[in-house]
């Protein structure tokens, strides 16, 4: 025979205990979720996604026609390309951030923001695949391959444009430089002629600028007028011996 | 951010050209560049003969453009051998424009490979004309596209720098080249030349 009355107290005690723990855990989790939601997002606004969804929501009326599907497809491709950039950045960051977190170099907040970004990007990818499949069956399977190539192709083109843009300034620099070398050379020739004509005044001439006088002696040793490159080569050979 | 919410962007569609533009009186530059890119992508999507205007998977590649680029490079090489260097430069430049004009969704590895050769060849043609600055930039482009097994391009920029009298830069460049390419005969010889010049310059 069980004494129900006697057992009531322990059961009530257990009930209260579980109740307190449950409400505490709920409050704690709510608090944590609110804090996480108030953290700044990892990435900035997703312009390509906004653009795509805005296009979807343009209502056709007499002034604006229906948005053609090809534009939507292009916008979706742009969105997928931006997603590729984000995935790459997430992947590159992850291991470094985990290591920093373990060492305690970064706070928990940062890690939470990161995890939220990771979850968001997963949803974003799924959404893009679904949209792509809605446009054309099986496009979802290849859209990210295309987007990946687009991302790296854009990088190549940007870098090449940057480098090719240097051509003009390099050309200008070289023209300038060539002109100054030529004028130097002409001056040297003139001075050479002067030294050949009248030997004694040459002794006073070097005093005006020592640098030029160095070049002069080399030219005389080399046995006559030669351009800068030529005299450089002569010097090189001497240096080797 | 959940799946349904988004920030509406002020845009409008031109009914005849189908080009998008911003309606906001003070559009920010990010949006403007994005719209330009998007319009360009839209055009290339329409221009490609892709079915349903959905870009095909990166492989297989449409062989027509590859064949054209190949042909331009070969005619450039022929012109170079005939010593008509400016003609060769023209051919290579056409090839480069064509390779850069590939639709963006085509394999980037292929673009890299084609551009790397074309830039290296054009650098050589520029060098034959003693246009050192152009040669140096083109050779650098080629190297940036492909760092290993591209000793010729490394060598060409080094040589151009040396010819322009930028000995220090040339030395640094060839030093890096030797790290990437290992002991390559031409590069080692160029390094010796640079070192000789440095000594000569200091003397």
pLDDT in tens, A173-207: 999 988 988 888 888 888 888 877 755 444 444 44
ipTM: 0.83
Structure confidence by residue, pLDDT tens digits, B46-90:
887 777 777 887 777 878 888 999 999 999 999 999 999 989 999
Does the residue B3 lie in any domain? no
CATH number at residue B120: 1.25.40.10
Does the residue B159 lie in any domain? yes
Structural domain boundaries, residue B131: 63-202
Does the residue B190 lie in any domain? yes
Structural domain boundaries, residue A77: 43-194
Does the residue B55 lie in any domain? no
- Whether residues A65 and B15 touch (CB distance < 8 A) is answered with yes
The count of structural domains within chain A is 1
Burial of A175 (0-12, 13-18, 19+ CB in 10 A): exposed
Does the residue B19 lie in any domain? no
* Residue B33 to residues A8, A76, A189, B29, B36, Cα–Cα distance (Å): 73, 16, 56, 6, 5
CB-based contact (8 Å) between A142 and chain B? yes
For residue B11, what are the β-bridge partners?
Answer: B22
| Spatial distance between the Cα atoms of B130 and B163, rounded to a whole number of angstroms | 9
Does the residue A160 lie in any domain? yes
In A, minimum Cα distance to B164 occurs at A174
Task: Read off the pLDDT band of A232 (50, 70, 90).
Answer: very low
Does the residue A27 lie in any domain? no
CB pairs under 8 A between A and B: 155
Mutation for B interface: A131, A146, A158, A168, most B CBs within 10 A = A146
- Phi/psi for B189 (5° steps) reads -65, -40
Does the residue B91 lie in any domain? yes
Q: Which pTM was predicted?
A: 0.72
Burial of B61 (0-12, 13-18, 19+ CB in 10 A): middle
Does the residue A73 lie in any domain? yes
- Whether residues B164 and A64 touch (CB distance < 8 A) is answered with no
The count of structural domains within chain B is 1
Does the residue B104 lie in any domain? yes
Does the residue B9 lie in any domain? no
Point out the least confidently predicted range of B9-18, B27-36, B100-109, B153-162: B9-18
Q: Which run of H or of E encompasses A4? A: helix A4-38
């Amino acid at each position: 025979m069980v004494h129900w009355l006697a057992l009531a107290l322990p059961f009530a005690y257990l009930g209260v205990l579980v109740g307190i723990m449950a409400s505490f855990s709920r409050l704690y989790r709510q608090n944590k979720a609110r804090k996480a939601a108030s953290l700044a997002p990892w990435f900035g606004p997703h312009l390509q996604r906004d653009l795509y969804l805005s296009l979807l929501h343009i209502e056709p009326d007499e002034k604006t026609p229906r948005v053609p599907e090809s534009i939507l497809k292009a916008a979706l491709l742009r969105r997928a390309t931006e997603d590729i950039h984000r995935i790459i950045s997430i992947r590159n960051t992850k291991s470094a951030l985990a290591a920093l977190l373990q060492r305690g170099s970064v706070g928990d907040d940062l890690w939470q923001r990161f995890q939220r970004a990771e979850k968001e990007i997963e949803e974003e990818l799924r959404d893009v695949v679904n949209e792509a499949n809605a446009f054309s069956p099986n496009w979802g399977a290849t859209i990210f391959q295309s987007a990946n190539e687009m991302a790296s192709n854009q990088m190549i083109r940007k870098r090449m444009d940057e480098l090719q843009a240097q051509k003009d300034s390099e050309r200008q620099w070289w023209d300038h430089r060539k002109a100054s070398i030529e004028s130097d050379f002409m001056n040297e020739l003139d001075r050479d002629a002067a030294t050949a004509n009248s030997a004694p005044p040459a002794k006073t001439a070097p005093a005006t600028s020592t640098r030029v006088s160095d070049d002069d002696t080399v030219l005389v040793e080399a046995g006559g007028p030669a351009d800068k490159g030529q005299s450089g080569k002569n010097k090189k050979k001497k240096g080797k011996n | 951010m959940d799946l349904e919410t988004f920030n509406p962007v002020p845009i409008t569609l031109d009914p005849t050209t189908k080009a998008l533009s911003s309606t906001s009186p003070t559009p920010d530059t990010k949006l403007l560049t994005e719209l330009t890119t998007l319009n360009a992508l839209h055009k290339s999507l329409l221009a490609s003969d892709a079915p349903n205007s959905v870009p095909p998977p990166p492989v297989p590649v449409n062989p027509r453009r590859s064949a054209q680029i190949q042909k331009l490079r070969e005619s450039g090489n022929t012109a170079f051998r005939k010593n008509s260097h400016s003609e060769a430069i023209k051919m290579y430049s056409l090839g480069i424009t064509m390779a850069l004009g590939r639709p963006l969704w085509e394999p980037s590895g292929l673009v890299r490979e084609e551009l790397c050769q074309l830039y290296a060849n054009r650098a050589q043609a520029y060098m034959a004309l003693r246009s050192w600055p152009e040669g140096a930039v083109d050779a650098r482009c080629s190297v940036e596209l492909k760092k290993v097994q591209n000793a010729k391009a490394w060598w060409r920029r080094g040589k151009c720098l040396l010819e322009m009298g930028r000995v220090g830069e040339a030395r640094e460049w060839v030093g890096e080249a030797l790290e990437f390419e290992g002991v390559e005969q031409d590069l080692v010889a160029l390094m010796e030349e640079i070192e000789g010049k440095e000594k000569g310059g200091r003397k």
